């Protein structure tokens, strides 16, 4: 998979789709960081401990996983527009419940609604962006979703710095920000047309279902667990699932690390996070500039090394205010080039249209289930000894960097593989085509 580096002018309509569909990434990051901060605030007011905090965080991630699995497949079967319109309704209700919570039970209900809805929205929205972007600009517009992701983190951290010391009122203000955005996105998305690429492929599949050399329908969801598509599915699940553990830890537990380990207030934690975010945001913009260039994998390798170093700093020098800030800053740089943004790009490139959202749903499901399991014990692990946590994260990031460099980058584009299958090439041979 090589990028040509040719710059293509992006039309206004493609930008509009990228913004409205890309808000899935904004709301995803917004929910993660807002929950991380407000759960700490609610913990004090509602009187629950680290165990309940870990369960809530894990539940949010688990429901996100289930939502992605269901939403991705529904998006491939019934269209992008229908699914990501309905998910905004569920998200708005869930966010309103979290903001108005009066007890732990309401937090559980809101967590279920928010997690499932944003999980179902993300794979469908990313597929919509890729399909509506012009050739030669798909990578940039998918990468733009990560810029929105970073923008959400900055906005939430700014709110946290401003209202973090107001207790429950501050938590409600932070959730109100997401509610307003969810409602605005819902209204604007309701006016968007369906993905032209999906509609054309759906019609083609209905009139003459494309089959491979063994007679399998290539638009069927179970094709993901057969050759040749099972190979990129496994590779991307491992990559995204494991590399995400560092980002998820930073999103959900940075406030807890700053307050319980470094001994600063919630408001100060928000301020520190906001400061280092500027570096991460610039890195996300840099990723947009290089993603369609021929040397994008060189940037991936450099980013992967920086990402590993970021996890090593609190491990080698001990967790402190300085090393935690450095961990977040370097993770923002390395993660922009060797983390979730590359999963988003590879997910569009390695699968054909009618399997694209389903594949993202499956890999996201694996990723969030794994993150939920880790999140379940992270607060307790922080209490026992944060160094163990950072040793684990170091191994994870080193593994995914090697995985991307030695395996995923050598995989052929999904549409090339699909074309070969339709022409009668056996599935075991089609994957080797470059």
Cβ-contact 63, 32 below 8 angstroms: no
Would you state the torsion angle of the CA atoms of residues 399, 403, 404, 408, taken in this order, to the nearest 10 degrees? -160
What are the pLDDT digits (tens) for 127-161? 899 888 888 788 889 989 888 988 898 888 788 87
User: Is 212 a member of any domain?
Assistant: no
Average pLDDT over residues 321-342: 91
Cβ-contact 130, 142 below 8 angstroms: yes
Give the per-residue pLDDT at 37: 83
Average pLDDT over residues 82-98: 92
Higher local confidence (pLDDT), 173 or 40: 173
What are the pLDDT digits (tens) for 19-28? 999 898 899 8
Helix (H) or strand (E) holding 204: helix 196-207
Helix axes 50-78, 104-132, angle to 10 degrees: 30
Decide: residue 418, CB within 10 A, 0-12 exposed, 13-18 middle, 19+ buried.
buried
- Using alpha carbons, select from 70, 386, 45, 27 the residue that is nearest to residue 175: 27
User: Is 210 a member of any domain?
Assistant: no
Angle among Cα 390, 391, 392 to the nearest 5 degrees reads: 90
What are the pLDDT digits (tens) for 361-385? 899 899 888 887 887 788 888 888 8
User: Is 17 a member of any domain?
Assistant: yes
Helix (H) or strand (E) holding 271: helix 266-290
Average pLDDT over residues 36-53: 81
Q: Which domain holds residue 233?
A: 12-194+221-430
DSSP 217: B
Average pLDDT over residues 288-293: 85
Q: Is the pLDDT of residue 292 over 70?
A: yes
Give the per-residue pLDDT at 179: 96
The DSSP-derived string for 253-267 is HHHHHHHHTS---HH
Cβ-contact 70, 120 below 8 angstroms: yes
Q: Is the pLDDT of residue 238 over 80?
A: yes
User: Is 349 a member of any domain?
Assistant: yes
Give the per-residue pLDDT at 57: 80
Reported as a pLDDT band with limits 50, 70 and 90, residue 393 is very high
Reported as a pLDDT band with limits 50, 70 and 90, residue 334 is very high
- Using alpha carbons, select from 240, 8, 26, 16 the residue that is nearest to residue 140: 8
What percent of the chain stands above pLDDT 90? 32
CA distances for 292 relative to 19, 197, 378, angstroms: 19, 21, 37
Average pLDDT over residues 79-101: 90
Q: Is the pLDDT of residue 314 over 70?
A: yes
Give the per-residue pLDDT at 2: 39
Question: What CATH number is given to the structural domain containing 264?
Answer: 1.20.1250.20
Q: Is the pLDDT of residue 354 over 90?
A: no
Q: Provide CB contacts within 8 A for 211, sequence distance 6+.
A: 217, 218, 421, 422
- Distance in angstroms (rounded) separating the CA atoms of residues 197 and 89: 25
CA distances for 131 relative to 21, 22, 195, 291, 370, angstroms: 11, 13, 7, 17, 29
Reported as a pLDDT band with limits 50, 70 and 90, residue 187 is very high
Higher local confidence (pLDDT), 256 or 425: 256
Q: Is the pLDDT of residue 431 over 70?
A: no
What's phi and psi for 263, nearest 5 deg? 75, 30
DSSP 166: G
Considering its fold, how many domains does the chain have in total? 1
Give the per-residue pLDDT at 4: 44
**56-60, 71-75, 98-102: range with lowest mean pLDDT:** 56-60
Cβ-contact 80, 128 below 8 angstroms: yes
Reported as a pLDDT band with limits 50, 70 and 90, residue 49 is confident
Give the per-residue pLDDT at 405: 94
pTM of the model: 0.80
Q: Is the pLDDT of residue 31 over 80?
A: yes
Q: Is the pLDDT of residue 434 over 50?
A: no
User: Is 203 a member of any domain?
Assistant: no
**52-56, 94-98, 346-350, 386-390: range with lowest mean pLDDT:** 52-56
User: Is 378 a member of any domain?
Assistant: yes
Give the per-residue pLDDT at 112: 94
Give the per-residue pLDDT at 414: 73
What percent of the chain stands above pLDDT 70? 91
Q: Is the pLDDT of residue 274 over 90?
A: no
- Using alpha carbons, select from 304, 356, 387 the residue that is nearest to residue 126: 356
Higher local confidence (pLDDT), 427 or 178: 178
User: Is 199 a member of any domain?
Assistant: no
User: Is 202 a member of any domain?
Assistant: no
Give the per-residue pLDDT at 379: 81
């Amino acid at each position: 998979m090589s990028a040509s580096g040719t710059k293509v002018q992006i039309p206004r309509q493609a930008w509009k789709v990228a913004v409205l569909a890309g808000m899935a990434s904004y709301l995803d990051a917004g929910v993660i960081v807002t929950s991380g901060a407000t759960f700490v605030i609610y913990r004090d007011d509602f009187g629950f401990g680290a165990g309940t905090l870990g369960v809530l965080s894990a539940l949010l991630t688990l429901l996100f996983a289930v939502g992605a699995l269901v939403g991705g497949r529904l998006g491939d079967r019934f269209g992008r527009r229908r699914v990501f319109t309905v998910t905004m309704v569920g998200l708005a209700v869930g966010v309103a419940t979290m903001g108005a919570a009066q007890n732990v039970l309401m937090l559980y209900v809101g967590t279920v609604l928010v997690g499932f809805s944003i999980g179902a929205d993300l794979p469908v929205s990313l597929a919509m962006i890729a399909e509506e972007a012009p050739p030669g600009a798909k990578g940039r517009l998918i990468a733009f979703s990560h810029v929105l992701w970073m923008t959400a983190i900055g906005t939430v951290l700014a709110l946290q710095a401003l209202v973090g010391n107001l207790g429950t009122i501050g938590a409600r203000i932070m959730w109100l920000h997401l509610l307003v955005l969810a409602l605005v996105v819902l209204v604007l998305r309701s006016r968007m047309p369906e993905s032209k690429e999906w509609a054309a492929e759906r019609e083609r599949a209905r009139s003459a279902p494309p089959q491979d050399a063994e007679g399998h329908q290539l638009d069927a969801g179970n094709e993901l667990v057969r050759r040749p598509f099972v190979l990129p599915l496994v590779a991307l699940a491992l990559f995204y699932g494991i590399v995400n553990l560092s980002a998820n830890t930073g999103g959900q537990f940075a406030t807890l690390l700053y307050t319980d380990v470094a001994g600063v207030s919630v408001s100060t934690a928000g301020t520190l996070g906001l400061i280092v975010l500027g570096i991460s945001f610039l890195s996300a913009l840099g990723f947009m500039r290089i993603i369609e260039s021929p040397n994008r994998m060189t940037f991936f390798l450099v980013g992967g090394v920086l990402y590993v170093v970021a996890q090593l700093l609190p491990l080698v020098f001990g967790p402190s205010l300085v090393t935690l800030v450095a961990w977040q800053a370097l993770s923002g740089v390395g993660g922009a080039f060797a983390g979730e943004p590359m999963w988003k790009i590879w997910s569009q490139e390695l699968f054909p249209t009618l399997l694209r959202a389903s594949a993202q749903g499956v890999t996201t499901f694996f990723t969030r289930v794994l993150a939920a399991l880790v999140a379940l014990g992270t607060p307790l692990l922080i209490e026992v000894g944060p160094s163990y946590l950072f040793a684990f994260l170091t191994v994870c990031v080193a593994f995914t960097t090697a995985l991307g460099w030695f395996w995923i980058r050598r995989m052929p584009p999904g549409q090339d593989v699909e074309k070969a299958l339709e022409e009668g090439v056996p599935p075991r041979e089609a994957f080797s085509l470059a």
